[in-house]
Structure 1
Amino acid sequence: MAIGIVGNYGNNNQGDEAILEGILIQLKEVHNIEREEIIVFSNQPEQTRKKYGVQSAKLYYKRKTAPMTLITTMVKNKPIIKKLDMLLVGGGGIFMDLYGTEAFLFGMYGWLGKLSKTPVILYGVGAGPIITRVGKVLLRSLAHLSKLVTVRDPRSKELLQSIGVKSPIHVIGDPAFQVKKPKKIERTTNGIQIGVTAVPFHHSSYWPNEDKQMYRDYIEGMAYNLDKLLTEYPDASVNFFATKHPQDMMVTKEIKELMDLGDRCHICEDSLNHQEIVQFASEQDVVIGTRLHSLILALVTNTPIIAVSYHHKVKDFMDMIACGDYTIPIDKLNEDHDFFHHSYQKMAANWRETEERFETISTMMKRMSDKGMDLVKQTFQTRPADKILVLSNMYPSKHSKTFGIFVKNQVELLQDNGLHVDVIAIDDPRKGKIYLLKKYAMFFIKSLWNMIIRGRKYKAVHAHYIFPTGVVGMLYKKLLGKTLVVTSHGGDIDQMSKKSPFVQKMTKKVLENSDHVIAVGERLKEEIHRNFDITNEKISVINMGVNRHVFRQQDKTSLRERQELATDERVLLFVGNLIRAKGLDDLVDAFEFMQKQEPNLSLHLIGEPKDQAYFNELEEKIKDNAAIIVHDAMSQKKVAEWMAVADLFVLPSHIEGFGLVALEAMACRLPVVGSDVGGLHYLLANGAGVKVNAHDPDDLAMKSLELLRDEDLQKSIIEKGLEKADLYDQDRLISSVIDLYES
């Protein structure tokens, strides 16, 4: 298999070189492609050939004018590209028009692939800034010409969508996370070792537009911050290194000259390659990086990082790994001379927890990076990707961002795993007879019309909720012979099926006619087996899984400051629909008892009031208690931040199919107290949480207080909860769902 790779290679930027090395490693491990079969289009072909053992050609042939450069490059490189099985436009910030040429250059390679009938893959690219109309057109066309589009952070995905890219866009980890970790060596240095990288920000020697004042503010801010850090930690040393040599050397020396404690700084003047940078980073206690890949290569070794954001890509990356609290915009550096000190101080306050946090991030990003080449493999399978139809009576929209969000998350996971997915869903949560009749009528009409037009194209139909959604799925099964998978989320069995004999009969019929039934919890599986006589072999327990990229450990101190919470405030948190069945009356009663024992408690309720009459009752009940705060439903990212600041998560439900939100709390290292009902009975078992009696405020209050006061018990529950979150990671569970479509 002949592969071509295009990118900013051969430019002495070790970030880009690490990306190339990562791609080469993946091509060997996943596709068993030897380096001799790969041709890299490089700024310095001979250097790239010798360094990596690949074939190499010029990235472009410079002529007097830009049009002549493009024409010459197309003429020279088209015959090469025509012989390739795949052209991979790989990694780095190439999806931008900041410097004026990128959009034309990489857009040209998209068209070369098209003209040569060679499939083009956009692989782990960073997007932005895209500021010109021409740039938007060219880069949008490049995405549309590509067989697969993958980007390295969610913000890049949003930007491509904002310029009109309609193709599916997948977020993967940066290929540089594939670079091999160095062998551990015995450290010969004493004291705290602080690795630092800098960039000639707005300097005429490097930047497209010079700004002397911005450059001066940057180097002064770096100097002041590093001096403060060294002052507070007398045994610390600063070790400057560069990922782009020699361009970064000048600014590094100027920062050192401005420092009062420059004698405690060492500058590595060697031109380190990416593997040597990884080794260097592994010998530091922390890396303070301006260059993005100095941060990424430090993370490869699990080294904690602090970022100076000189470009939105740095902030986007730090936000993606939930380390925004360790990030400062470059233009604010000279206004906050304590940032490095305060950031390291937070890390040092619990160094073991800091190490665990960054090790978890490193593992997660490596896994996301693995996902990229898996997508490439799926894209080039000989058979076309399977097409799946998802039917659901719940789906997020402008009316509600959380309405059926778990269904949307699963759809995106299916797409990320290479499946083509169509969705027909009800996205309006509003109630009332008129709304119900209107939205279900439209749902059935759309579903039947789709069956006539596209029905035969689907490999399988996946219906969420047995009745009424599963009835539509059953029509696809009976009329077109499609595989039918139905997921029961609990309410369809516990409540809906009991509304009338007709609904119960139809529920049983859907379950019997489906090829496979997914129950989101063990108890739900037992109920389906017992009440509807469905064989256990036909039922799989696969919950929707927790998104570990969103729900994970974050810095509690900085997030509490952002929420303006008092340092001694103990926060109880509930997340879910604000309805009676969630046990909110029990929770309020328990909380008011707990307040008498622990006056610094607060209770935060996050969710949508699905039943306005009940919500009015709840508001009346809590109106005189200022420590009980109700929040509107919010994005999963915001929910994860509240879980990071809370001290206890409480889910006192009267019924619960699975209790995914409790699992999300566990993933955020938040101890959970929940009712011993439904899926929570299993989820909180074996010490992963504390189980209480449903409808029992006294039991809820006493066990919650006991947990708040027992730090050893908290630690035990947190650790076992993390194990449970790992077990139910959505990235792992989705493969089980896909297997059912194949059966």
Structure 2
Amino acid sequence: MKVVISGFYGLGNTGDEAILESILDNLRNEIDEVDITVFSFSPEKTAKRHNVRSVYRGWRRENKQKVQALKKADLLISGGGGLLQDTYPTKFLFGPLPYYLLIVFLAKLCGAKVMFFSQGIGPVNTTWGKILMKVFANMADFITVRDPFSKELLHKLGVNRPESVVTADIVFAFHQKEDSACLDSLPLKGGERLVAVSVRPWFGDTSYYGHIAQALDSLIESEGVTPVFVPMEGHYDVRASEKVRQQMKHRNQSLLLGPDFTPNQYLNFISACEMTIGLRLHCLIFSCLAGVPHIGISYDKKVESLLKRSGMWDYSFTLENLDPEKLADNAREVLRRQEELKEMIRENAAEMRSEAMKNIDLLKERFGQ
């Protein structure tokens, strides 16, 4: 079976790289003699790291190679992740939404089947974005989405021709391998109460940096924890983490991981923590996989949806309603109930792992040879 995978790969986003690794590992485990090409912004790096063929994903070059790959392909996998959205500026042919839908159109012209795979849909708010979705997303042969909100939004946008099935984010089927690189990089003495912290820039909203800083200071004073910032998207998250640390009274009692670790290395680090506080969706998914209690700060429906499925929504916040004192109080409660919450999270994560594997099962059922 010949497969092309299209997504936000080769740009250093840990969540998207975890998605790609999960897709590749599970395709290779479940489908004999699968032949894979990945569209990536760093094709040489992607090819070397994952032992796949890789083509530059942008329109500036290698368009002939894209067409050749799609002509040979039995299936285009579009996803997973939040590809189909217009949060970022969407022009006539530029922006994430037009790009991914034009790849779908190109695949259909080349005779390949198309599966939207474990996708989170939306938001799609612009008139042009809605038109693009209605015209091109209906060209897909089959769709799996990672949460019920995404399925509901597809129907609202008029994407009804392909069948859509709710599964779970494919990263819940991630294959963890032992690797202590993150822990080894930190100046730890042993016995620290590690708390993973994930922050990100969000359209100029910096008010929450101070709220998180205040809550972390309170936890350092009352619980003796060591916050460790986990930059899930390279220098963007490093800068956001530094801005939080600058507002902390006890910044010297916090640490910052480097930005170049692999998804598997970050997952192994989070597995060693007592708790996670964070915005990044896949940092919270890693926490679920590791059975680590987590408090999410939701800037998007996808984060809220995950937290409800993991069982941690009652401790969590929306970005606009983040209260530093309540965050610190909730974190103390989570630390106190840690063992009980771990058991609940592991049960919920096992269910979501089973649902994540449905993405592969349904692919085999619909497109297997």
Answer whether TM exceeds 0.5 for this pair. Answer: yes
Query: Is residue 2:150 matched to residue 1:156?
Result: yes
**CA-to-aligned-CA distance 1:422-447 (integer Å, 9 cap, x gap):** xxxxxxxxxxxxxxxxxxxxxxxxxx
Q: Output the CA distance in 1 between the equivalents of 2:220 and 2:107.
A: 53
Checking the alignment, whether the CA contact within 8 Å between 1:246 and 1:271 is kept in structure 2 is: no
Question: Counterpart in 1 of 2:362?
Answer: 375
Please say if 1:145 is aligned against 2:139.
yes
| Residues 288, 310 of structure 2: 8 Å contact kept | no
What is the letter of the counterpart of residue 32 of structure 1? D
Structure-2 change in CA distance of 1:195 and 1:142 (3 Å): same
Alignment of 1:242-641 (within 5 A): 242-333=231-322, 336-381=323-368
Please report the TM-score for the alignment, with normalisation by the length of structure 1: 0.46
Q: What pairs with 1:8-19 in structure 2 (closer than 5 Å)?
A: 8-19=8-19
Change (3 A) 1:346 1:338: same
Q: Find 1:56's aligned residue among 43, 54, 60.
A: 54
Quickly say closer, same or farther: Cα 1:3–1:328, change in 2 above 3 A: same
User: How far off is 1:76 after superposition?
Assistant: 5.0
Measure the CA separation in 1 of the matches of 2:119 and 2:244: 31
- State the secondary structure of the residue aligned to 2:80: strand
Name the structure 2 match of 1:129: 123
Paired position in structure 2 for 1:449:
none
1:232 corresponds to 2:222: yes
Question: Structure 1: which 5+ residue stretches go unaligned?
Answer: 63-71, 204-213, 383-743
SS of 2:83 mapped into structure 1: strand
Residues 373 and 141 of structure 1: is their aligned pair in 2 closer, same or farther, counting only changes over 3 Å? Answer: farther
CA contact (8 A) 1:9 1:16 kept: yes
Greater relative contact order, per chain length (Cα 8 Å cut-off, separation 6+): 2
Q: Write the letter of the residue equivalent to 1:2.
A: K
Cα gap change, 1:260 to 1:342, in 2 (>3 Å): same
- The answer on whether the counterparts of 2:275 and 2:335 sit within 8 Å (CA) in structure 1 is no
Superposed, 1:689-700 pairs within 5 Å as: none
Tell me whether 1:20 sits opposite 2:10 in the alignment. Answer: no
Kindly, what percent of the aligned residue pairs are identical? 28
- CA contact under 8 A between 2:85 and 2:122: conserved in structure 1? yes
TM superposition shift of 1:262: 1.2
Offset of residue 30 of structure 1 = 1.4
Letter in 1 for 2:17: E
Alignment partner of 1:173 is 2:168 = yes
The 3-state SS of whatever aligns with 1:39 is strand
Give the aligned CA root-mean-square deviation in angstroms.
2.0
**Do the aligned partners of residues 180 and 75 (structure 1) sit closer, same or farther apart at CA in structure 2, a change above 3 Å counting?**
closer
The answer for the alignment partner of 2:40 in structure 1 is 42
- Match of 2:217, SS state, is helix
Distance 1:137 1:327 in 2: 35
Note the C-alpha offset of 1:323: 2.5
Letter in 2 for 1:156: S
Contact between 1:154 and 1:320, CA under 8 Å: does it hold in 2?
Answer: no
**Cα distance, 1:124 vs. partner?**
0.5
Post-superposition shift, 1:243? 0.9
CA separation in 1, counterparts of 2:114 and 2:179? Answer: 39
Asked which structure has the greater CA Rg, the reply is 1
1:189 equivalent in structure 2? 190
SS in 1 for 2:202: coil
Deviation at residue 358 of structure 1 after TM alignment: 1.1
1:98 shift after superposition: 1.8
Matches of residues 59-78 of structure 1 in structure 2 within 5 Å?
59-62=57-60, 76-78=65-67
| 3-state secondary structure, aligned to 1:246 | helix
Structure 2, unaligned stretches of length 5 or more? none
Amino acid at match of 1:319: K
1-structure distance, mates of 2:48, 2:326: 42
Partners of 1:130 and 1:242 in 2: CA distance: 27
Counterpart CA distance in 2 for 1:33 and 1:224 is: 53
Q: Which residue is 1:389 aligned to? A: none
Q: Which amino acid aligns with 2:350?
A: T
**How far did residue 105 of structure 1 move?**
0.6
CA change 1:290–1:137 in 2 (3 A) is: same
* Cα pair 2:75 2:367 within 8 Å, conserved: no
Residue 80 of structure 1 deviates from its aligned partner by 1.9
Separation (CA, whole Å) in 1 of partners of 2:368 and 2:4: 18
CA distance in 2, matches of 1:76, 1:310: 37
Would you say how many aligned residue pairs link Structure 1 and Structure 2? 357
| TM-score normalised by structure 2 residue count | 0.91
Does the CA-based 8 Å contact 1:175-1:369 persist in structure 2?
yes
- CA shift in 2, pair 1:142/1:339, >3 Å: farther
Structure 2 SS opposite 1:87: strand
Counterpart amino acid of 1:9? Y
Q: Alpha-carbon deviations, 1:137-168, whole Å to 9, x = none?
A: 22233332111101111111111111111132
How far is the alpha carbon of 1:183 from its aligned partner? 3.9
**Which secondary structure does the structure 1 equivalent of 2:155 belong to?**
helix
1:60 maps to amino acid: G
